[in-house]
């Protein structure tokens, strides 16, 4: 019968020690069965679990390994793992009660299973190789450095790593220097009380060029080229990548115009000062039309909305549905929760034309390229929005169409404006023979 070697954490607990404890979310057995077990069939020589928790991920192995090294900073968790592994015979098992990120001389592993601790609070990011990164990203980087040639790593990761702008560098590294075998999007609330998206990434320590990645969500699975994924900004969300692929197909069959050639795009002033009544906020408009708000003078903001500028909420559950035309002749200093889109052609009809183009692009799935899913809300990536390409559809150039669209919005008949957007989307797809294009439901 196996007797685990449990090494205790010694010395003064660091800030990282407490951080790890606060970020612990046990891996549900349903996740192990549905998304992990199929990736770890076979026998492995050396296995690493850098944040073992209660040992749920190890259940997928069914004891098919020769040696195991597992870390956790919680002795109670390690005691549970010891009990869980009590039936295993003949293997060398070492349980380390210490911070994995501070460990060294571990050697190489042919399998790594990891559900790293995570924390989206910027103040809790860790210093790694000279840069501040999320703790979950630090775990991934260190795990990759310990993989043997052709070794496999199976990660359970939050959206911060899989789609967040701040981890784009890590995704580029994965796609370029490793073989990302598959990405599986887990259902919402797979982890109790955590709404944000989680994913199972399987990575092989093998450098390949132009390989295909298996992507899956709900009951749908498909493959995309790693090159295409990198061109889309490196986000690895399977649902959004499918929409991106369909949107790319639309752009390939119609004229295309770069948004940055039509407008100047900027974020509201991050350093804006003054009380809420002094600034224009995302709570002051919904969609299509942003109306005047009585404001007290005294705001200090270099970002100002002018009549017929477009406003977009930077954060919200339906952020990409908030494209609106600012209606007032009075300038409005705006906070950093707003993205300002100032058409280069200064006219009312140009503004409504751009609004219609953007809103139809969202219906076609273009928002998958610039709207990032977060925990409970989405946010707009300013950099990705600036890179957006939109269809140059002939109806967008018809001034009669644009005037009718503007009249609906100005008369607050938003349902008619939305109906017009959908009609133009359907017409565009029908003309191109793309009626099966998947719409984004982000």
Residue bearing tokens 């590294």: 173
Angle of the 168-177 helix axis to the 135-145 helix axis, nearest 10: 20
pLDDT tens, N- to C-terminus, the chain (442 residues): 334 443 433 333 333 333 333 444 556 556 656 667 788 888 999 999 999 988 888 888 888 899 999 999 988 888 888 887 777 765 788 999 999 999 998 999 999 999 998 876 776 788 887 888 889 999 999 999 999 999 999 999 988 899 888 899 999 999 999 999 999 998 776 666 555 678 999 999 999 988 999 999 888 999 999 999 998 876 899 999 999 998 998 888 888 999 999 999 999 875 655 556 778 888 899 999 999 887 666 556 668 899 999 999 999 888 999 999 999 999 888 888 999 999 999 999 999 999 999 999 999 999 999 998 766 678 899 999 999 999 988 888 899 999 999 999 999 999 999 999 999 999 888 877 754 444 443 3
> 377, 344, 202: which is closest to 263 by C-alpha?
344
Residues 164 and 289 grouped into a single domain: no
- Structurally, the chain folds into a number of domains equal to 2
Residue 376 within any structural domain of the chain: yes
Hey, how many other C-beta atoms are within 10 angstroms of the C-beta on 363? 20
Residues 125 and 190 grouped into a single domain: yes
Residues 280 and 422 grouped into a single domain: yes
Residues 271 and 202 grouped into a single domain: no
Residues 72 and 176 grouped into a single domain: yes
Cα separation, 46 vs 54, whole angstroms: 20
Residue 291 within any structural domain of the chain: yes
CATH code, 39:
3.40.50.150
Residue 130 within any structural domain of the chain: yes
Residues 224 and 281 grouped into a single domain: no
Residues 179 and 261 grouped into a single domain: no
Cα separation, 241 vs 216, whole angstroms: 10
Domain that holds residue 47: 5-236
pLDDT number for residue 360:
96
Residues 379 and 309 grouped into a single domain: yes
pLDDT number for residue 231:
86
pLDDT number for residue 274:
53
In the listed set 236, 268, 289, which residue is the last one of a domain according to the structure? 236
pLDDT number for residue 417:
97
Residue 442 within any structural domain of the chain: no
pLDDT number for residue 15:
33
Residue 382 within any structural domain of the chain: yes
Residue 183 within any structural domain of the chain: yes
CATH code, 343:
3.90.220.20
Residues 263 and 221 grouped into a single domain: no
Residues 334 and 414 grouped into a single domain: yes
Residues 80 and 161 grouped into a single domain: yes
> 154, 159, 152, 153: which is closest to 136 by C-alpha?
159
pLDDT number for residue 186:
84
Residues 352 and 389 grouped into a single domain: yes
In the listed set 236, 265, 286, which residue is the last one of a domain according to the structure? 236
Residue 78 within any structural domain of the chain: yes
In the listed set 207, 236, 265, which residue is the last one of a domain according to the structure? 236
Residue 312 within any structural domain of the chain: yes
> 51, 159, 161: which is closest to 113 by C-alpha?
51
pLDDT number for residue 438:
41
pLDDT number for residue 212:
96
């Amino acid at each position: 019968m196996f007797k685990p070697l449990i090494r205790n954490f010694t010395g003064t607990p660091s800030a990282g020690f407490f951080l790890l404890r606060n970020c612990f979310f046990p891996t549900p057995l349903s996740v192990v069965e549905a998304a992990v077990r199929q990736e770890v069939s076979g026998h492995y020589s050396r296995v690493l679990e850098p944040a073992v928790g209660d040992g749920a991920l190890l259940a997928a192995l069914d004891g098919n390994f020769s040696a195991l090294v597992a870390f956790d900073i919680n002795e109670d968790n390690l005691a549970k793992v010891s009990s869980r592994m009590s039936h295993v015979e003949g293997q060398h098992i070492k349980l380390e009660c210490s911070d994995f990120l501070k460990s060294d001389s571990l050697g190489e592993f042919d399998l790594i299973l990891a559900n790293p601790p995570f924390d989206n609070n910027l103040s809790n990011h860790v210093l790694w190789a000279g840069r501040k990164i999320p703790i979950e990203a630090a775990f991934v980087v260190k795990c990759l450095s310990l993989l043997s040639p052709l070794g496999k790593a199976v990660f359970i990761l939050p959206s911060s790593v899989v789609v967040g702008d701040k981890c784009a560098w890590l995704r580029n590294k994965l796609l370029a220097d490793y073989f990302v075998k598959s990405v599986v999007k887990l259902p919402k609330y797979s982890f109790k009380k955590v709404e944000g998206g989680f994913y199972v990434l399987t990575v092989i320590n093998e450098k390949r060029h132009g390989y295909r990645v298996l992507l899956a969500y709900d009951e749908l699975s498909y493959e995309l080229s790693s090159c295409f994924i990198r061109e889309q900004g490196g986000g690895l969300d399977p649902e959004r990548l499918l929409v991106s692929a369909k949107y790319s197909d639309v752009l390939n069959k119609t004229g295309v115009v770069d948004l940055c050639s039509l407008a100047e795009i900027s974020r509201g002033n991050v350093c804006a000062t003054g009380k809420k009544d002094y600034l224009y906020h995302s709570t002051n408009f919904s969609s299509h039309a942003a109306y005047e708000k009585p404001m007290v003078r005294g705001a200090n903001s270099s970002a100002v909305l002018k009549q017929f500028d477009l406003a977009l909420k930077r954060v919200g559950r339906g952020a990409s549905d908030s494209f609106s035309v600012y209606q007032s002749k009075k300038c409005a200093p705006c906070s950093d929760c707003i993205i300002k889109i100032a058409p280069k052609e200064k006219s009312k009809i140009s503004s409504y034309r751009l609004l219609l183009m953007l809103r139809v692009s969202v219906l076609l799935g273009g928002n998958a390229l610039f709207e990032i899913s977060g925990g409970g809300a989405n946010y707009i990536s300013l950099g990705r929005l600036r890179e957006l390409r939109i269809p140059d559809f002939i109806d967008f150039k018809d001034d009669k169409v644009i005037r009718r669209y503007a009249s609906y919005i100005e008369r607050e008949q938003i349902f008619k404006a939305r109906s017009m957007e959908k009609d133009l989307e359907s017409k565009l797809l029908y003309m191109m023979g793309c009626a099966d294009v998947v719409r984004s439901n982000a």
